[in-house]
């Protein structure tokens, strides 16, 4: 049960801090800035990994959970409880933000600035890169594992910096699902459910191939 609570809390903190930064930026005339929002996302991911990594692995992302299972690093019976916990955490955070900022339209969600396909491709590549870092750091040497939080948070920050204005740099289905549902903006939600999942699974297969080659 501690694992599920950790996933719930971790996802809550991620959504409240990350989408909260976007909302505060909008509500205060741009005081947080784009760079500031990226830093918030990177730091909260890093913090949650160090806070809950030893308890649940700090997936805080359904695409990561499914990919760990495909990689043979996570039991199938835990997939649904993890995703349910992440979903509850995300909706609790978004619901609280809705209460705090009832007039905000997007609630910090991710919405394509250009075409849906442009953002789809962007999200596939972004999540591919992120999942590669997750796998190679979390499954590397003990010394590398200690730095996993910094590496993963750094990639989130990096990708948000250049891709945020295009696709929102979601890389996480639940990060996009909760704001879209609560805000009632679901027409382009498929992009952020499908693309991160495809990107994460592609990275997992790449990691498995490279791992086998290294073993030979």
Domains of the chain: 2-215 (1.20.1080.10)
Ordered mean pLDDT values, 10 residues apiece, the chain (216 residues): 96 98 97 98 97 94 97 96 98 98 96 97 98 89 75 97 97 98 96 98 95 65
pLDDT of 216 reads: 55
pLDDT at 135: 94
Report the predicted TM-score, pTM, of the whole model to 2 decimal places.
Answer: 0.94
Residue 103 exposure: Cα atoms within 13 Å on the Cβ side: 3
Of the candidates 14, 51, 29, 62, which has an alpha carbon nearest to the alpha carbon of residue 160? 14
pLDDT at 10: 97
How much is the pLDDT for 171? 98
> What's residue 142's pLDDT?
64
Question: Could you tell me the maximum CA-CA distance found in the chain, to the nearest angstrom?
Answer: 58
22 burial type by CB count under 10 A (0-12 exposed, 13-18 middle, 19+ buried): buried
CB 27 within 8 A of CB 101: yes
What is d(CA 24, CA 110) in angstroms, rounded to the nearest whole number? 15
């Amino acid at each position: 049960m501690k694992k599920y609570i950790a996933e719930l809390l971790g996802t809550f903190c991620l959504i409240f801090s990350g989408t909260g930064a976007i909302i505060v930026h909008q509500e205060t005339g741009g005081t947080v800035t784009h760079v500031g929002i990226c830093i918030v996302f990177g730091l909260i991911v890093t913090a949650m990994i160090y806070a809950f990594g030893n308890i649940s692995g700090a997936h805080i992302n359904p695409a990561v959970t499914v990919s760990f299972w495909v990689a043979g690093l996570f039991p199938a019976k835990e997939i649904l409880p993890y995703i349910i916990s992440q979903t509850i955490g995300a909706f609790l955070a978004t619901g609280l933000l809705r209460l705090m900022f009832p007039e905000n339209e997007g609630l910090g969600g991710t919405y394509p600035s250009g075409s849906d396909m442009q953002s789809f491709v962007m999200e596939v590549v972004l999540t591919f890169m992120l999942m590669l870092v997750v796998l190679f750091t979390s499954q590397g040497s003990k010394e590398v594992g200690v730095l996993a939080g910094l590496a993963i948070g750094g990639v989130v920050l990096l990708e948000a910096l250049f891709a945020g204005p295009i696709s929102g740099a979601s890389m996480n289905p639940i990060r996009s699902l909760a704001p879209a549902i609560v805000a009632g903006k679901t027409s382009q939600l498929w992009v952020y459910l499908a693309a991160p999942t495809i990107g994460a699974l592609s990275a997992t297969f790449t990691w498995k191939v490279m791992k086998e080659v290294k073993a030979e």
